[in-house]
A = this chain, B = another copy of it.
């Protein structure tokens, strides 16, 4: 796990393995904490629970994390790094709508176990009130927002995306949709991967693609009369 690159010097082997061992222990603690937090929530899960799950004494655990909050922060940071990889995927897509659909697919597949969705929802809830977590969460969100908004604006310039779109609000709404789906899938067992992905694809295609009528015109038309009453199956 030596994520750095300066390993050409001699005598660095011992310290490098020591650092590796330390990081491995931190990962072990983080994994245990994620399981406990998913099971019981940040505040109901105790440090003793985490110690038991990690197979480690309390005193030793505190050698790796200063406090319970530090563990939560580390989890939020890990989440950020994991998500950042998804947005590289978006950057590489030529058509941002297809890129977003693929992004959503990967995200939903990532968030599939018992723990991940609960943890994700718990992080959001905690971020809304705990200023330290919120700062971190906002950083994640802003990175994601910037990546999506940039892709959509590029897509508008290239004709892939509806130019009448309120990009910032639309992006944030799609992120809200993703988080909401992650939570709701836990209790809605009929929301299988294939069905969810299929509906999501239709939704994004229709929502984001250019339309004949612009937003304003649409609103005018619809507030006066129903739009699609007389056509059952025709084009």
Q: A57 contacts the other chain (Cβ, under 8 Å)?
A: no
Q: A129-B40, A207-B206, A228-B160 are in contact. Are A173 and B196 (CB under 8 A)?
A: yes
User: Closest Cβ of chain B: how far from A37's Cβ, in Å?
Assistant: 10
Cα A141 to Cα B230 with chains together (Å): 33
Q: Check A82 for interface membership: any CB of B closer than 8 A.
A: no
A222 at the B interface (CB under 8 A): yes
Q: Give the number of chain A interface residues (Cβ < 8 Å).
A: 77
Q: Are B196 and A222 in contact (CB under 8 A)?
A: no
Asked if A209 CB lies within 8 Å of chain B CBs, one says yes
A138 to chain B, nearest CB (A): 6
Q: CB < 8 Å: which of B43, B158, B202, B229 contacts A44?
A: B43
Which of A6-14, A17-25, A47-55, A117-125 binds B?
A117-125
CB within 8 Å for A124 and B127 given contacts A188-B172, A199-B166: no
- Check if A170 is an interface residue, CB within 8 A of chain B: yes
The residues of B that contact A207 with a CB separation of less than 8 Å are: 202-203, 206-207
User: Taking the complex as formed, is A187 at the interface, i.e. its CB lies under 8 A from any CB of chain B?
Assistant: yes
With known contacts A124-B125, A169-B196, A196-B173, A226–B141 Cβ distance under 8 A? no
Interface string of A141-153 (1 = CB under 8 A from B): 1000000000000
Q: Are B128 and A125 in contact (CB under 8 A)?
A: no
Within 8 Å CB of A233, what residues of B?
A: 159, 163, 210
Is there a chain B Cβ closer than 8 Å to A201's Cβ? yes
Q: Is the CB of B222 within 8 A of A201?
A: yes
The 8 A CB mask of A178-205 against B (1 = contact, 0 = none) is 1111011011101100011011111101
Partner of A177, one of B40, B43, B176, B196: B176
Q: Are B191 and A184 in contact (CB under 8 A)?
A: no
When A172-B191, A176-B183, A229-B159 are in contact, do A129 and B125 touch as well, CB less than 8 Å?
no
9 contacts between A and B (CB under 8 A): A41-B126, A121-B125, A160-B226, A165-B199, A166-B199, A170-B199, A173-B181, A173-B184, A205-B218
